Structure 1
Amino acid sequence: MMTFSMLLNILLEAEARRDDPSLPQEVRDRSAETVSLCNQRMEEEGLTREQLEMEARAEA
């Protein structure tokens, strides 16, 4: 089972890789796909980014 903090961590890491111009384009493309999948999961859970961050903090 994926926790909110796990989802947020995956999202943050993927966004950083997607936005890093020093990485190869293939890596940035795969990271963009990961960001999209995370956003889909958030939508399925009915969460905004802010709500995900709050839920992740509550788990800590």
Structure 2
Amino acid sequence: MTKITCRDYGFECKYEVEGDVESVIDEYRKHSDEEHGIEYSVETLTQVILRQQS
């Protein structure tokens, strides 16, 4: 299980998503695009998750 929050990226947003890596990436990409107008690549978010886990 992994978790990403908007606060990880400096947003004043309480959004967070937790679950398996693939679903976390999909849900966070959808949220960041719809709410913040930012499109993160799968690769970028994968790197963030890997750094958090080490």
What interval of TM-score do these two structures reach, taking the shorter chain for normalisation? Answer: 0.3 to 0.5
Q: TM-score, normalised by structure 2?
A: 0.35
CA radius of gyration, larger in: 1
TM-score, normalising length: structure 1: 0.32
- Give the helix-richer structure, 1 or 2: 1
Q: Identify which of structures 1 and 2 has the higher relative contact order when contacts are C-alpha pairs closer than 8 Å and 6+ apart.
A: 1
